[in-house]
Amino acid sequence: MSRADIRALALTLLLLCTSKAGADVPIEYHSGSLLHALEWQSGAQEKSWAVRSPNGGGYSYIVPNIGGSWRRYGPGTPTATSNAMESLNLPLLATHPLTGNFIPMLADRWYSDSTSGITYFHIDDDASWSDGVPVTSHDIAFTLNFLSDPAHQTEFQRRQINQDVQAVIIFDPSHFAIVHRQEHIPESIHSLRPLPAHFFDSERPWPSGHDLEPSPVTGPYRPDELNYNAVSFRRIQNWWGDKQAFLKHRFHATDINLHRSTDDAFRAFANGEIDSISSDNRHVLSSPWAKHLTKQYKIKQVSCSGCPATASGVIFSPSVTRQQRQSLMTALENRTAHFIVPDFDLFYPYTQAFEWLRPWAGAYAEPSDMLLRRLNEGRYDAIIISAEMTRDTPEASLKRAISGIDSFGDIAALPDFTYHQYLVWEWVELPEQPLVSAAGLLNPFDAVYGGLFSVNRKARAEMLDKPERRESDTPPAVINYPKKN
């Protein structure tokens, strides 16, 4: 198909799409008779980064909070459970961790026409939900309209969709296209993680009807049990992704268990009942408790100064004075234990990275979607946000993350707070060259960076039989990532 033919097809589709009213994101159904002529891409030239490892064994770790709902979105999110459920739903496409090029996930083929601002997708023929129902184009259209409906309290997603998506075109159950407002495909589209329309189309009220019954997922683990202190997931046997080039040879654990951070959970870790603890406080490994564990037991220390690869910074209101700005930045950079600025409100993400801000007067933790809403409405003095690092400066990465916000003051990058430290029993085996990323080294779910580690069941049994080091043993040195040549 020539470029002129593609543009003609795109114009026809645009006219058809804009003619339909009703849904927040217009949906049009159209013949796919010309789709075969598109210059489809498949990422076939890219190489997998996974290395085959033994399957089996459970993996458990400690998280700050579990939450009381299986929902990915809406009131009370984000939590460790909602983050896991989001990760367990694959995006349409991902970017290769080494080359940065698009690779298939739910979609196995795509074609993006920057002239018309339309990207075409084909859903992998094997892609299915964990209840066995195939993933279809209807799921895509349903997701865009569900998340853009104000009644569903998904404000951040709604704003992204309204900013980026003009219409969705359904050709058949496997082929669809999204008309975007930018020339090139925006991240909100290629990273879209669909909802199962057949599950949400039921009589369950939103959000209460979705709290205790988990929705099906497209990833390698199905939701299992949820309570106040723990949440568990079980590996799907014969998962469709095990045949996909960039998903196979990963996700080795048979079950994943997340435990809420409590004294009992830390005792369970010391007893070998939980496999790892992670922290984004660079001083955690120097604590007396951590030193005692690694000296007495077969527990290793892992430090990743590049995990996660995010930029954090402060967005200031235009009304903030220079003196207030300097005072706050000094306190943040020095991690001052207590801080007060009269008549000044600081809002920060409800994540472990910023728990140390709790004692501050006038500092308030909120979910990320609430922070962006507050930023968009101008109801703040200062807001801390985090964004995925690009090849630009941290300030540029932060500006990119809030590009949809009309007005804000100065942006000041924070020092490296997002810094992963791990205490890990030695039966957990990292790959020789793990990928340094925002997902961390031991993420069990992430579509690109997750599931690269494995659990040595034989070593676990032997270590649990004799967990203590001999007096003559020297605790292993801290394992640092990224490794230096």
- Residue 377's SS3 state is helix
Q: What is the mean pLDDT of residues 131-160?
A: 92
Of the candidates 42, 187, 16, which has an alpha carbon nearest to the alpha carbon of residue 124?
Answer: 42
Q: Provide the CATH number for the domain around residue 388.
A: 3.40.190
Residue 417 has pLDDT above 60, yes or no: no
- On whether residue 449 sits in a domain, the answer given is no
Residue 406 resides in a domain? yes
Does a structural domain hold residue 356? yes
Using the 8-state DSSP alphabet, how is residue 128 labeled?
B
Is 317 part of a structural domain of the chain?
Answer: yes
Q: Is residue 139 part of a domain?
A: no
Q: Examine residue 359 and say whether the peptide bond preceding it is cis (omega within 30 degrees of 0).
A: no
Q: What is the pLDDT of residues 164-179, one digit of tens each?
A: 899 999 999 999 999 9
Q: Which of residues 414 and 70 earns the better pLDDT score?
A: 70
**322: containing domain:** 310-413
The pair phi, psi for residue 420, each rounded to 5°, is -85, 130
Q: Which residues contact 401 (CB under 8 A, 6 or more apart)?
A: 385, 387, 388
Q: Which has the minimum average pLDDT: 89-103, 132-146, 217-231, 462-476?
A: 462-476
Number of domains in the chain: 1
Give me the percent of the chain exceeding a pLDDT of 90: 47
437 occurs within a structural domain: no
Q: Work out the mean pLDDT of the chain and round it to a whole number.
A: 84
DSSP 8-class letter at 69: -
Distance, in Å, from the CA atom of 290 to the CA atom of 87, rounded to the nearest integer, reads 30
Would you state the pLDDT for residue 414?
79
296 is a domain residue = no
- pLDDT grade for 51, boundaries at 50, 70 and 90: confident
* pLDDT bracket for residue 237 (50, 70, 90): very high
Report pLDDT digits (tens) over 302-353.
887 666 556 778 999 988 998 888 889 888 887 776 777 677 889 987 665 6
Provide the pLDDT for residue 449: 87
